[in-house]
Amino acid sequence: MVYSEKIEFSIGSTTSKVMDIEFEFSEEGKGIISVKIDQLSSRGSDMSFMLEEPKNSYVAFLKWLIKLTSAEMRGFESSVKVFDKGVDVRASIDRLYFEIKDIDIFIDDKMNNVSLNSLNTKFSMTNLKFNVPFLDDNIADKALEKINKAIPDGKVSKAEIAVNYNKQSSMLRLTGILRMLGGNASLGIDVLIDENYPDATYIKSASLKLKNLSEGMIDFVDMIEKETSIKVDRIGRSSANLDYSGPIKNLPSGEFKQTSYASEARTVMSNIYNASKMYYQTKGEWPDDVEQLERAGQLDLSRSTKLRWKFELQLPDRLIATSTEEMNDGAGKVVLFDSLTGKFYGYGSAEDDDNR
């Protein structure tokens, strides 16, 4: 069937503003979440839509063009309290501003084919303040210790980032600045995007210039140098230039790379274990392999995951994942999940000594 109808309509400038927003969510004896916003506003102009039916076998599309659209938030304050954990987290932001200077999106009539042709947007934040106490959790507290050292006063005075993307050139460009007591930063990244093969995505150039760094930020730079392929050029004690060019898949290195690659196996093993428990509740016996879970409709593993990892079920005690040649770090890497303790061992774990 061939159609020739075309529907076009446009909306002129739009402006909205909401003042004095407050809400609170609480559960008796457990905790309170509260949010306060002084002002929310948004502005749009030159908003137009076009809906065209199929014609001469061409796919119908909805082209959505929004120019000079912005949103702003002023006077944001929030707090989260969890009584039994002793958690009291507070944060505030003077101003958040988001602007879309240009956006071009292609969407077909069935909404199952979406393509971003171009994007030019900017985000800025002024005076972020936060207070996050230790949470009596080893993993979380280690991360918080690093954050508190890097940002000792809990303040980020200014952050800006601009994003530009052009599908025709496959180029994504990010630029930005950061200002805080822990140091100042300027960022510039050009990335060649391969939509069909994400692993082929290439960082043409990436540069991060850091100045007036705190001791915590210096430690952070040390970690980047140790765990990634980024080149670190130190300028005195408190400044550094970080540069990288190459495939994005080669960015992590060393222990971090192992943790990154192992995370896929860990996620899948958690899904397998949860599916196996459901299978046991239904069948009264543990499954022998993942295929049995898939046939029962309890699990759906992607083909790419199956190509990279082989999973062995020794339930109810453990699960074992072994990498193949398709995994980026090679074959023979073993990840073990102990269902009795709920912990992972082997490749990508701190306890691993054999697969490094």
In this structure, which amino acid lies at residue 131?
N
- Distance between CA atoms of 246 and 244, rounded to whole angstroms? 7
* Neighbouring-strand partners of residue 25: 33
- Distance between CA atoms of 281 and 260, rounded to whole angstroms? 33
Task: Answer yes or no: are the C-beta atoms of 85 and 135 closer than 8 Å.
Answer: yes
- Distance between CA atoms of 334 and 346, rounded to whole angstroms? 6
Alpha helices in 87-173 (DSSP H): 138-150
Helix, strand, or coil (residue 175): strand
Tokens of 19: 């003042």
How crowded is residue 229: how many other Cβ atoms within 10 Å of its Cβ?
A: 16
Tokens of 143: 């991360």
Q: Is 128 exposed, middle or buried (0-12, 13-18, 19+ CB in 10 A)?
A: buried
Task: Answer yes or no: are the C-beta atoms of 186 and 209 closer than 8 Å.
Answer: yes
Task: Answer yes or no: are the C-beta atoms of 260 and 308 closer than 8 Å.
Answer: no
Q: Which segments of the chain have a pLDDT < 70?
A: 1-14, 44-68, 107-114, 134-140, 253-257, 350-356
pLDDT tens digits for range 318-330:
999 999 998 877 8
* C-alpha angle 245-247-248 in degrees, rounded to nearest 5: 95
- Distance between CA atoms of 335 and 339, rounded to whole angstroms? 13
Task: Answer yes or no: are the C-beta atoms of 194 and 170 closer than 8 Å.
Answer: yes
Tokens of 322: 């072994």
Domain ranges (residues) in the chain: 1-113, 134-251, 255-346
pLDDT tens digits for range 210-256:
999 988 889 889 888 887 888 899 998 899 999 998 888 777 766 66
The pTM assigned to this predicted structure is: 0.61
pLDDT at residue 73 in the model: 94
- Distance between CA atoms of 306 and 315, rounded to whole angstroms? 20
pLDDT at residue 28 in the model: 82
pLDDT at residue 166 in the model: 92
Angle at which helices 215-227 and 138-150 cross, to 10°: 120
